[in-house]
Amino acid sequence: MTKTDPVLGTRALNRATLDRQLLLKRSPLTARAAVEHLLGLQAQNVKPPYYALAARLDGFRPEALSALMADREVVRIVTMRSTIHTHTADDALTLRPLVQAARDRELTNFRKGLVDVDLDRLAALARDLVEAAPRTMKQLREALLEEWPDADPQSLAIAARCRLPLVQVTPRGLWGRSGQVALTTAEHWLGRPAEPVPAPDATVLRYLAAFGPASVKDMQTWAGLTRLKEAFERLRPQLLTFRDEHGVELFDLPDAPRPAADTPAPPRFLPEFDNLLLSHADRTRVIPAEYWGRSWVGNMVYATFLVDGFLAGVWKVEEDTLVVEPFGKLTKAQCQEVTEEGMRMLATMHPGTSYDIRFGTVVRPS
């Protein structure tokens, strides 16, 4: 970083990130192309990936993503930050090896329950089990416990999940369908082997295209990895550098969009766990400091909405009503824009169903 690096203020970072995230204006990309561009969609629950694309794509219909999943062009798999993501098949076979070191480190948290367990043998046995037939975590625990009866059952199943690239097989994840979580390996489900562990350089460039401008720590937060500085340094000659208002060095692609700070940003309804809110070490580019922690209570995480590009409140669908809870006071014009965007979201996700929209309480007082 040099003293001549331009400074990007919070609003400039906000607009740049929203543009990369397809949230300034809806994109004509296909569902598959969007999943690829965004490096996957957070998917702890079944519905969030669908709502994430509804906020971003022009003409999106949930059936489009569901068909990709049914055809095994996208899958649900544990990758970044040890959380389930919806990825393209290609990314499942490359990003999972990239973050494998983090999954190996995660296992150290369960070493007390894995005393005398040969992890290589466990991985081989678990692979044989899930490739013979998809298994639930309960079935996997029980089968592994027969081999290691003195081990902690939950730790055995987590070890299998950490050591192997396990995908959730359909019908789990399909729109309008239900199904328990059953697992097999990505290689078995997709019919081809995983890639060797790649250098992170290509993923750094893709991360900047989807989340930049960003610091090394930002990407490490997104990926759940450490020691990415070397990759950024290798790429430095082909990148631009900026500073944020605190002097932190930010990297970016030379031809990436960086809209003016006053570019209009329409309201958007996002699902719980949307990666927009989770993929930077410094999240003030999207989350005002006064609203930090307002979108979750204990283990309950709420769907959120943006006004003027920033987190502005939470929402939920309650029977036949969309309930919207702003964290602060909205102007009459903003309320109207939020209402119109809510109607559009409901028409996309629940066509032919009538809903009321009410400004009320979503997060119940504890």
156-177: average pLDDT: 96
For 69-92, write each residue's pLDDT tens digit.
999 999 999 999 999 999 999 999
- Categorise residue 311: left if φ over 0, alpha if ψ from -120 to 50, beta otherwise: beta
The Cα 366–Cα 357 span in angstroms is: 24
Least confident of 5-9, 58-62, 138-142, 195-199: 195-199
pTM score, whole prediction: 0.95
| Cα 66 to the center of its chain, rounded Å | 17
pLDDT tens-digit series, residues 197-235 = 889 999 999 999 999 999 999 999 999 999 999 999 999
Count the Cβ atoms, other than its own, within 10 Å of residue 143. Answer: 18
Mean pLDDT of the chain: 95
| Residue 364 banded pLDDT, cuts 50, 70, 90 | confident
Question: What is the Cα–Cα distance from 140 to 158, expressed in whole angstroms?
Answer: 10
pLDDT digits (tens, 9 = 90+) for 313-339: 999 999 899 999 999 999 999 999 999
Q: Could you give the CA distance from residue 35 to residue 53 in angstroms, rounded to a whole number?
A: 8
Q: Is residue 146 scored above 50 in pLDDT?
A: yes
Is it the case that residue 281 has pLDDT exceeding 90?
yes
The pLDDT value given to residue 179: 87
